[in-house]
Amino acid sequence: MNNMEQARFNMIEQQIRPWDVQDMRVLNLLSLVKREQFVPAGRQALAFMDIEIPLGFGAAMWQPKLEARVLHELHIQSTENVLEVGTGSGYLTALLSRLAAHITSVEIVPELSTQASHNLAIHGLDNILLQVGDAATSWGTNKYDVIVLTGSVPVYPKAYLQQLNTGGRLFAIVGDAPAMEAKVVTRLSADVFENVTLFETNVKPLQNALQPQRFVF
């Protein structure tokens, strides 16, 4: 146990703080929500490493510093409703649920959603709705304060911009490998959006993501 806690401490101090994550709410959450309980069986030793962890079905857990940086940049409030596209292991879902009023998380792979449900049940969180389906371009008609796409997309799904409340934020990693940019789009008013590029990264694509027209030679 001491070794596990030391590894968690090292992750926060050596990977996450140096990546401009200074929000104490986020840093405290990383100690509270045990990441090792969300990694696949037999891979607990990888939980605190600066790597993606494969989940199967073409999915992977983000690097710890990416999870933390996204939470830091979104400034989620306790009154806000969040949509997460791509539940994965449920770890980011658990972190989001500790910050927001309610989380709807959609996963296209039923087996991953089932495993995430088991992982989350350990923590007794009651403000999460897990759903199975293809949310690559939109999901229902509800509006949200925060939308997080956990897989990369070549272009923005414009429908999600319209599902933001005024003041709402969309996090997306946009582009094709290896040139992807993490962005936050904020809805300032009905027809005005602010687009901020945060950093460059490279993550697995969202299944069935909207594809742009491409030239064929």
Q: For position 19, which CATH number holds?
A: 3.40.50.150
206 is a domain residue: no
- pLDDT surpassing 80 at residue 1: no
**Half-sphere CA count of 3, side-chain side, radius 13 A:** 3
CA distance 173 to 146: 15
Band of the pLDDT at 216, cuts 50, 70, 90?
low
What token pair was written down for 53?
Answer: 């962890």
- From first CA to last CA, the distance across the chain in angstroms is 58
209 is a domain residue: no
**The predicted structure's pLDDT at residue 214:** 62
- pLDDT surpassing 80 at residue 217: no
208 is a domain residue: no
**The predicted structure's pLDDT at residue 182:** 97
**The predicted structure's pLDDT at residue 215:** 53
Report, as an integer, the average pLDDT of 154-159. Answer: 89
Band of the pLDDT at 154, cuts 50, 70, 90?
very high
71 is a domain residue: yes
Higher pLDDT residue, 17 or 179? 17
The count of structural domains within the chain is 1
Q: What counts of helices (H) and strands (E) characterise the chain?
A: 6, 9
158 is a domain residue: yes
207 is a domain residue: no
CA distance 214 to 217: 10
Report, as an integer, the average pLDDT of 206-217. Answer: 75
User: What's the mean per-residue pLDDT of the chain?
Assistant: 94
What token pair was written down for 9?
Answer: 């401490």
Sequence-separated contacts (24+) of 18-27 with Cβ below 8 Å: 19/65, 19/68, 19/69, 20/69, 20/72, 21/65, 21/68, 21/69, 21/71, 21/72, 22/72, 23/71, 23/72, 23/75, 25/99, 26/68, 26/71, 26/72, 26/95, 27/68
212 is a domain residue: no
CA distance 51 to 181: 18
Report CA torsion sign: 33, 160, 73, 62. positive
213 is a domain residue: no
| Per-residue model confidence as pLDDT tens digits over 62-90 | 999 999 999 999 999 999 999 999 999 99
CA distance 164 to 143: 5
**The predicted structure's pLDDT at residue 179:** 86
Residue type, 82: V
- pLDDT surpassing 70 at residue 177: yes
Residue-number span of the structural domain to which 24 is assigned: 2-201
Report, as an integer, the average pLDDT of 98-109. Answer: 98
Contact indicator for 166, 190 with CB cutoff of 8 Å: yes
Q: List C-alpha distances in Å: 106 to 85, 102, 167.
A: 5, 13, 22
| Per-residue model confidence as pLDDT tens digits over 43-57 | 988 999 999 999 999
- pLDDT surpassing 80 at residue 35: yes
Instruction: Compute the chain's Rg from CA coordinates.
Output: 17
